[in-house]
Structure 1
Amino acid sequence: MTKKSINILIFSSTWSFIIGILTALYLNLVNYIINFIWGYFNHHANFPLRPIYPFLICIPFGIVIGLLTKKLGSYPLTIEEVLHDVRKNGKLDYHSWWKSFTLGLLSLGAGGSIGPEASTTVLSSGMINWLGDKIRLISTQASGWVHFWQISIDKDKLLRTPNFNSLFNSKNHKKFFILFNILIGVIGTIIVFTLFPEEGAFGIHKRPINWSWSILWYSLIPVIIGIIFGYFFLYFEKVFTKAEAWRLHTIFKATLWGIVLSLLTLITNYVLFSGEFHIVPFSKTALSYSPSFLLLIALIKTFSTHAGFAMGWRGGKIFPAIFASVAVGAAVAQFLPIQPVITVSILVVASTTIILEKPLLSAILLIFLLPISLAPIIFITVYIVITIHKFLLKKIGLKSLIY
């Protein structure tokens, strides 16, 4: 290995470690802001201002979100928009990262029914693209170094550098380099979460499962209902995508949603936030609610996620979708003679697989969220559902319901 190659590896691994730390710190910052604004509301049922508190928060935040959206544009970008930009341009423009950062934090802090995965993807992808450009610049320098801590990049110099792929001798060389730096970044993220732990949805959850042959027959019901709910969730998304084109003033739309969101809290507080930190606690108490109320929660959650997004409160939709699926699963579980956790888990797996259309991602995500003992069922359900989904897409002549 040449001296320049060693310098590039040291440079890339150092910054990959920093990127991992910054990504984790952003997620912790999101949780800190939500707890700072909503902590007393969430933990004190006898809070005197509790009924009107969402109005005091959501409406002013809605005005601010509208003002900034009018000035900066529609941010943060979604995961789909990030992937589209990468496919189209080969990279993500990271110069507008602060727009996704600012509007993402505002929508999340205001209690919007959206998750942090959208803004997190924009920020981490932007930092990774920035690192790639810095590595390209380093490759043209005789010493192998280009101002190690300098953040800015000379665009004119960048245009004269070779593209990222040409820096490697082979595809395996490139794969090793990327995987190595991903591992370093993950280590940085883990260190932050270890030093500043946040109680969240993720973790290896253990729960005793009562296995029986009846599960094979009754599991068909949550699979079918989960698929239906997945399509329902995507249908709502398409409906409210059209609402984004409504000729309403940007500030008016964002403020209006602040009012609507506040009104919906009079029905259920589960309308607030992505549901990420409520999924596990909610699953333990959901059976105490009536099936009709659980279905109402799922409907409101689906509506608030897509309608809020269309009104300018943008963010991720994965965790709201999972939360709504848990509510539907808990409603169905009250009518089946098998363990409720099995019914809920299968339905969540089925709906999430349809919504994401990424079977492996769905399986890995839900293994960390659902009881680990259900891992075999998770993989089997994902395979069955994605097979059915592809068959149905082929019948109607579509490749996807997302793109």
Structure 2
Amino acid sequence: MSVKQEGKINYHNWWKSLTLGLISLAAGGSIGPEASTTVLGSGMVNWLGDRLRLIAYSSDWKWNHFWDTIVSKKQLKKLPKFSSLFKSKLHQKVFCLIMVMIGVVGAAIVFKLFPEEGLFGIHHRHILWQWRYSMYVIIPLIVGWSFGMFFLWSEKWSDYFAEKITISPIIKATIWGIVLALLTLITSYALYSGEFQIVPFVHQALQISPLFLLVIAVIKTLSTNIGFSLGWRGGKIFPSIFASVAVGAAIAQFLPIMPVMCVAITVSASIAVILGKPLLTAILLILLLPIELAPVILVSAYLAACLTKVSYSFRQKNN
């Protein structure tokens, strides 16, 4: 939020995000690490940008300034913005592209040094394209879109009820910790974000009854949104993906199309609704699902986004 509104982040409080994120994750909260990681990453980039501005514009700059934990805010305010370091828009784009490539290469090196059946990566799978069943793809699309709307509805009402509870934030978080523990009596999938559970879950999802898969999806949705509203900090992307996979696997047991395609369409539609950004959704899911399904993922995400716009327009006219 701070980055969106002000274009910067207070990186001096990085330890708060790290501590709260680690506590929530270690305690089994149904939230992902992406939020805390984004805050820490944004803080590091902001910190580096400030140091580069010092190098470029401070006449009395010294090397020890680069490693100072705290730099005078007055001093930084007097300096031009980081964007002024670039001679042109092209120069800026080239710099950003190089930084992105460094990140991609770094990630590739890590995956190469520590190979495992990970969540991210370019996955391949033979897809049996059965065009005579193409009419059935509308079902996972509608179901995925509906589940995405349910996730957003759950998020809205979780925030609403949490605001009505006028007790200490610590007590709120403690109460939800107890409830979360009780939810594990129904399914252990109520815990954690599901990021590292998606791969093994996919392998066994079709052996789980459709009704229980839907129960898992609902519990995952509620444990994520209510927990977040009651003070458990983290991200919602991976829990929403996990819950959407459960829904996709449930309806895949009733349709004649390939289960992986049914899941891909359901998840793409659902996450496109939740994030509100179909292109970002497609890029994310292409790294999670077989690359051969990239066109299906992209089309499903944009169709779900269009359906959302039509739905909102219809409701506004009726109101």
Whether the 8 Å contact between 1:113 and 1:271 is mirrored in structure 2 is yes
Partner residue of 2:257?
Answer: 338
The equivalent residue for 1:141 is: 58
Query: How much does 1:337 deviate?
Result: 1.5
In structure 1, runs of 5+ residues without a counterpart are 1-80, 399-403
Q: SS of the residue aligned with 2:270? A: helix
1:234 is matched with: 152
Offset at residue 206 of structure 1 (A): 2.4
8 Å Cα contact 2:12/2:70 also seen in 1: no
Q: Which moved more, 1:98-107 or 1:187-196?
A: 187-196
Identity %: 58
Instruction: Name the SS of the counterpart of 1:244 in structure 2.
Output: helix
Single out whichever of 189-198 and 128-137 deviates more from structure 2: 189-198
Q: Is the 8 A contact 1:200 1:276 kept in 2?
A: no
Name the counterpart of 2:4.
87
2:114 pairs with 1:203: no
Matched, 1:373 2:295: no
Any conservation in 1 of the 2:268–2:300 contact (CA below 8 Å)? yes
Task: Give SS of 1:391's match.
Answer: helix
**8 Å Cα contact 2:151-2:274 kept in structure 1:** yes
Cα offset, 1:203, TM superposition: 2.3
- Aligned CA distance change for structure 1 residues 198 and 259 (closer, same or farther; 3 Å): farther
Aligned residues: CA RMSD: 1.9
The residue that corresponds to 1:390 in the other structure is 309
User: Against the structure 1 CA distance between its residues 166 and 204, is the aligned structure 2 distance closer, same or farther, given a 3 Å change threshold?
Assistant: closer
Partner of 2:179: 260
Deviations 1:77-136 (A, max 9, x none): xxxx3xxx2232121221211101000011011111000000000000111111111111
- Call closer, same or farther: CA 1:189–1:146 in 2, change over 3 Å: farther
Please, what TM-score do these two structures have when normalized by structure 1?
A: 0.74
CA distance in 2 between counterparts of 1:207 and 1:191 reads 24
Contact 2:272 / 2:302 at 8 angstroms: preserved in 1?
Answer: no
What is aligned with 1:183?
101
Offset, 1:158:
1.1
Gaps of 5+ in 2: none
The residue aligned with 1:363 is: 282
Q: Distance in 1 between matches of 2:195 and 2:120?
A: 9
Cα offset, 1:191, TM superposition: 3.3
Query: Per the alignment, do residues 192 and 371 of structure 1 end up closer, same or farther by CA in structure 2, a change over 3 Å counting?
Result: closer
TM-score (norm 2): 0.92
| 1:212-268, Cα deviation, whole Å (9 max, x unpaired) | 113420000000010000000000000111233220222211111111111111111
Structure 2 distance, partners of 1:140, 1:332, is 60
Deviations for 1:128-165, whole angstroms, at most 9, x for unmatched residues? 11111111111113487643444432222212211222
1:300-350 per-residue CA deviation (whole Å, 9 max, x = no partner) reads: 000100111112111110111011111111111111112211111111111
1:182-223 CA-partner distances (Å, limit 9, x unpaired): 322443344344434565311222222221113420000000
